[in-house]
């Protein structure tokens, strides 16, 4: 498939931290958000194991650059929602050559513009805020 069977190094982008993580940390208790972050990182470190599940979706992948943009569904720790039903998503870039995952966006469906589909909103956010991924069309 698209994701290599390696352990990835995961980091949050400054944009994700400053815009979306801040919102989640205000909405939930400190403990809930810390546990949720740990779970997101642990899941993405083993992204290969989750690519065949409904938890990770391919948004765009560049075979030429071996970099893709993917979506991960997640639930906040201590809530009674499944990752899919929670409406919470992580958008991340994955580089199969370097083994790096950068979390670009962390959002709830309420962050998306109603005038666009979720995928259109994601692509516009990535293109606007991360010019280094301009080759992803």
Tell me if 74 is assigned to some domain. yes
Euclidean distance between CA atoms 38 and 9, whole angstroms: 13
Distance of CA 74 to the CA centre of its chain: 9
User: What's the pTM value of the predicted model, to 2 decimals?
Assistant: 0.89
Tell me if 4 is assigned to some domain. no
Tell me if 18 is assigned to some domain. yes
**Three-class SS state of 70:** strand
Given pLDDT bands bounded at 50, 70 and 90, which one contains residue 99? very high
Domain holding 46, by residue range, is 9-131
What's the number of domains the chain is made of? 1
CATH number, domain containing residue 26: 3.30.2310.20
Statement: residue 28 has pLDDT above 90: no
Given pLDDT bands bounded at 50, 70 and 90, which one contains residue 12? very high
Tell me if 121 is assigned to some domain. yes
């Amino acid at each position: 498939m698209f994701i290599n069977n390696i352990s990835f190094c995961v980091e949050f982008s400054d944009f994700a931290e400053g815009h979306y993580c801040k919102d989640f940390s205000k909405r939930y208790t400190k403990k809930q958000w810390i546990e949720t972050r740990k779970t997101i990182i642990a899941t993405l470190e083993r992204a290969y194991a989750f690519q065949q599940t409904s938890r990770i979706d391919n948004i765009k992948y560049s075979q030429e650059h071996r970099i893709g943009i993917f979506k991960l569904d997640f639930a906040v720790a201590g809530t009674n929602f499944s990752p899919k039903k929670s409406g919470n998503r992580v958008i991340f870039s994955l580089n199969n050559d370097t083994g790096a995952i950068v979390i670009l966006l962390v959002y709830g469906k309420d962050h998306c513009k109603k005038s666009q589909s979720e995928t259109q909103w994601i692509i516009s956010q990535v293109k606007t805020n991360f010019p280094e991924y301009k080759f992803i069309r």
